[in-house]
Amino acid sequence: MDIYKIDETKDIEMIVNSFVSEPATEKEWLYFSDAKKRLDFYDTEKQIVTSVVMLANTPIYRNDDGYEYMLVFTAEAIEKMAYDYFGKNGFNKISINHDGSVIEGSAILLESYFVDDNKKAPEKFGVLPKGTWIVSYKVVDKKIWNMIKDKKLRGFSIEVLADLKKLKLKYKNKKNMEKEKNKQKQQFADAVTDQGVNVTFEALEVGQLIYSVAEDGTEVLLEAGTYLINYEGSVYEVVVDENGTITSVNEVTNEPSENEMETEMETEMAAIKRRLEDLESKIAAFTQVKPPVQAKKQTPIVTDSNKERVHFTKIKVKI
């Protein structure tokens, strides 16, 4: 399926943030009703909802008149889009299910931020990519709030005018893989899947997000699946869920192929043969050498003066 991204180098106009029954991000609202922020309703409701406006670097399914594709918002595109919306005083403007109208004053924006190292997403959402846009609204319109309570409205969906740019995943051939083997980014480590797709991640660990890399450098959350990833000279079996999160990492033991085993056996046999030949050569050389002459046994010699025995090693033997 083709993958496009919002072209952050061109104008991006955000028309409205719509309260919808089926949010494109598939992230439903969190409901806060008291100081403990429990996900439930109480008599003293604060009528506050929090959710994701747009996930950064995450493929979102689209179907335009039968043409199916995936659409990606980079962190830069999301930021540019938000500044455009707020620059037009869109803080308290919303719509309902993209009905074409824009209403103001029914919901008041309380909080807006982009996920980064310091600002995390609510725990219920799990690990979200940096640059993801999260907002909280206080809903003052009782009719809209009742629709939210009844699950008729479940999240956000934006209306945007922007240019699209088609992405191509970056594949590494053997030459490029060897050339870039030791290349590393400042924050992300390079690796490659069994399909040759370049991927990046902060750490090859459970709970981390993993991205594929397009030819223009855009990082896109890797699709759900099981991959073999070559990283730092080892091969790992990596399982990725639908949120681009690593759920399992296991190092794979490389079993030698039949040809590799035959080659290894031939190498070992050749080494053994060389050692035997060397040993046989040494034995042959040893058996051809003339044995040294044995000295004749002689009677120990003593002096006339003190009759002391003279040590045999001090006597020169004549043959």
**H, E, C per residue of the chain:** CCEEEECCCCCCEEEEEEEECCCCCCCCCEEECCCCCCCCCCCCCCCEEEEEEECCCCCEEEEECCEEEEEECCHHHHHHHHHHHHHCCCCCEEEECCCCCCEECCEEEEEEEECCCCCCCCHHHCCCCCCCEEEEEEECCHHHHHHHHCCCCCEEEEEEECCEEEECECECCHHHHHHCCCCCCCCCEEEEECCCEEEEECCCCCCCEEEEEECCCCEEECCCEEEEEEECCEEEEEEECCCCEEEEEEECCCCCCHHHHHHHHHHHHHHHHHHHHHHHHHHHHHHCCCCCCCCCCCCCCECCCCCCECCHHHCCCCC
Residue 16 has pLDDT above 60, yes or no: yes
Query: Which of these three, 218, 251, 284, is where a domain ends?
Result: 251
Same domain, 152 and 224: no
- 287 found inside a domain: no
**Number of domains forming the structure of the chain:** 2
Same domain, 155 and 178: no
Residue 174 has pLDDT above 50, yes or no: no
- 189 found inside a domain: yes
146 HSE (CA, 13 A, CB side): 3
Same domain, 86 and 227: no
Residue 182 has pLDDT above 60, yes or no: no
Which residue range(s) make up the domain with 11? 3-167
Contact yes or no for 77/163 (Cβ under 8 A): no
Q: How far apart are CA 160 and CA 14, in angstroms?
A: 4
pLDDT computed for residue 290 by the predictor: 59
Same domain, 181 and 148: no
Query: Which of these three, 220, 251, 282, is where a domain ends?
Result: 251
Section 132-159 average pLDDT: 92
- 263 found inside a domain: no
pLDDT computed for residue 276 by the predictor: 84
Same domain, 235 and 141: no
Residue 297 has pLDDT above 80, yes or no: no
Q: Which residue has the higher pLDDT, 107 or 259?
A: 107
Same domain, 13 and 162: yes
pLDDT computed for residue 291 by the predictor: 57
- 77 found inside a domain: yes
Same domain, 148 and 212: no
Section 209-216 average pLDDT: 92
Same domain, 59 and 190: no
Same domain, 100 and 54: yes
Residue 11 has pLDDT above 90, yes or no: yes
Residue 180 has pLDDT above 70, yes or no: no
Same domain, 83 and 19: yes
Same domain, 83 and 157: yes
Of the given ranges (60-74, 92-106, 112-126, 305-319), which has the lowest mean pLDDT? 305-319
Residue 184 has pLDDT above 60, yes or no: no
- 295 found inside a domain: no
Q: Which residue has the higher pLDDT, 310 or 229?
A: 229
Residues 259-280: tens digit of each pLDDT: 666 777 788 888 888 888 887 7
Tell me the whole-structure pTM to 2 decimals: 0.70
- 187 found inside a domain: yes
pLDDT computed for residue 262 by the predictor: 73
Same domain, 152 and 194: no
- 265 found inside a domain: no
- 134 found inside a domain: yes
Query: Which of these three, 224, 251, 278, is where a domain ends?
Result: 251
